[in-house]
Amino acid sequence: PFDVLIVGGGPAGAAAAVYAARKGIRTGIASERFGGQTLDTLGIENFVSVKETEGPKFALALEEHVRHYDVDVMNLQRAKALKAGSELIEVELENGATLKSRTVILSTGARWRKLGVPGEEEYRNKGVAYCPHCDGPLFKGKRVAVIGGGNSGVEAAIDLAGLVAHVTLIEFGTALRADQVLQDKLASLPNVRTILNAQTTEMTGDGQKINGLSYTDRASGASEHIELEGVFVQIGLVPNTEWLKGALELSRHGEIIVDARGQTSLPGVFAAGDATTVPFKQIIIAAGDGAKAALGAFDHLMRH
Ligand code: FAD
């Protein structure tokens, strides 16, 4: 069995693997796609000490760093169940194998919920974005729309209003769902327009870049079009934790509930990164969190 088995090979899992391996304990990392969300990222400019890099390059560097140590790297492996035995914790893989370990670190990350309209996939990273902290500065002085009137959408609109020329906030329902303080702040901004009761139907472009967005006014049924240079889709970040339901405590959003050391509700099972309740989903935060969970697991091993 492993001393530490990590499930998920994004920034959180990779950092956990490096920290665990450097303690000289038996470390394994199983992941579906090593690199995680960073594989889908164009430019990364906010991982401090790396002024500028590209996602796939960053993902490769994560894997190289992990392989520099004595770590059992199991790529293209999807976990489907977690079972806590009396002594060892078992992780069942989709290929039928079962991995056993004294401690487990869950770092299966999350995915942005997509709208699923024509143009969204085609113009992803060509004007269609999901992370205002990451991509906001690319739209300096331009016109953007934010889709989604919950807390994350309204926060994104307020954040972007300070950077871009104009923000159109589009909400499907007849009212915003964000906290009132955020709504008040939004209403005070001169360069934000809110459109309620609007169903986004398409992102339009010239084949290279996005140039607009179409929506249906749900009250009148009329089809409208807005010209813009960017769209931020903010309709939810979904943690990859469906396979853990019933095995340990999840928040109502499906995030793994962790304490300050990354310990979950199951003794010996730790979690890190976007899959957890830790706020602000960013690479540097996930990586720090992975390091923390590995040290938490090591501490647990010393005491058991
Ligand atoms: P992830 O990166 O999501 O990795 C999860 C890992 O778990 C993957 O290896 C996945 O294959 C694996 N996995 C999932 N389910 C299973 C399973 N059942 N079994 C086995 N393995 C599984 N952040 C920044 O700081 N700066 C940026 O510029 C930036 N830009 C972004 C751009 C885009 C388009 C996106 C989508 C995100 C961006 N982010 C950015 C956010 C950042 O990528 C995430 O916060 C970070 O990758 C989270 O790391 P993680 O390790 O927690 O999860």
pLDDT in tens, 123-147: 999 999 999 999 999 999 999 999 9
Q: What is the mean pLDDT of the chain?
A: 97
pLDDT grade, residue 65 (50/70/90)?
very high
Among protein residues, the one with the nearest Cα to ligand 1's atom 40 is 282
Rounded to an integer, the average pLDDT of 206-231 is 97
**Is the beta carbon of 112 within 6 A of some atom in ligand 1?**
yes
Q: How does 137-169 read in b/e, with b if 16+ C-beta sit within 10 Å?
A: ebbeeebbbbbbbbebbbbbbbbbbebbebbbb
**Is the beta carbon of 286 within 6 A of some atom in ligand 1?**
yes
Q: What is the CA radius of gyration of the chain?
A: 21
Q: If you measure from the C-alpha of residue 217 to the centroid of ligand 1, how many angstroms do you get, rounded to a whole number?
A: 35
pLDDT at 52: 96
pLDDT at 186: 98
- Tell me what ipTM this predicted complex has: 0.99
Q: Supply φ then ψ for residue 48, to 5 degrees.
A: -60, 140
**Is the beta carbon of 152 within 6 A of some atom in ligand 1?**
no
CB 283 within 8 A of CB 291: no
- Residue numbers annotated as active site: 131, 134-135
CB 114 within 8 A of CB 15: no
- pTM of the complete model: 0.93
